[in-house]
Copies of this chain bind each other. A is one copy, B any other.
């Protein structure tokens, strides 16, 4: 019984429910269609705040257990109030978080035990782009690098888990391949 319970929750992942969820989605692929959302309000200067609460998935409207709010701002060196990270820093967090969640899930599904997963993400950006000072410089990051330190079972298995997480990461896909973004404006 203890062994079953341990197997069912390897790395803190409820693998029994994970496999049951996969089976349910195989049986009804409409369950897999999700829409995530954020709302944002300008406060002052470059300081603004997003709220993340409701989403649609598994054929129903749902909410997180609580609304999550996040402030973004520019630092003083970029003429802001430093009331939060810059928007581009949130992209780095999203990448690390997505790959790390995938690592935990995939390792659990494969029966691989993890003891530590840490990472550092860096993004290099030349602000001549967004400042409008050079048409030859892009607005966004020129490159992003992420370094993982991962401990647990056999290193080869751990490396394979990271690679599979990369292959199935939503954020990695969006950041490397891009996505269509449409903007609508009600200027009243």
Q: Which A residues have a C-beta under 8 Å from some C-beta of B? A: 11-14, 17-18, 21-22, 25-26, 29, 32-48, 50, 52, 55, 57-58, 62, 64-65, 68, 70, 72-75, 77-80, 82, 84-105, 114, 116-134, 138-151, 155-156, 158-159, 162, 166, 168-188
Copies of this chain held together in the complex: 2
B90 touches A145 (CB 8 A): no
B175 touches A96 (CB 8 A): no
A93 contacts which chain B residues (CB < 8 A)? 38, 40, 50, 52, 70, 72, 87, 90
A18 to chain B, nearest CB (A): 5
Contact among B25, B42, B91 with A118 in the assembled complex (CB-CB below 8 Å): B42
Closest to A158 in B: B187
A126 contacts which chain B residues (CB < 8 A)? 32-34
- In the bound complex, CA of A188 to CA of B151 (Å): 7
Closest to A154 in B: B187
B174 touches A187 (CB 8 A): no
B146 touches A183 (CB 8 A): yes
| Contact status of A64 and B82, CB under 8 A, knowing A87-B170, A176-B180, A186-B150 | yes
- In the bound complex, CA of A134 to CA of B25 (Å): 11
Contact among B12, B48, B116, B188 with A149 in the assembled complex (CB-CB below 8 Å): B188
B104 touches A36 (CB 8 A): no
Closest to A57 in B: B77
Contact among B99, B141, B181 with A179 in the assembled complex (CB-CB below 8 Å): B141
A10 to chain B, nearest CB (A): 10
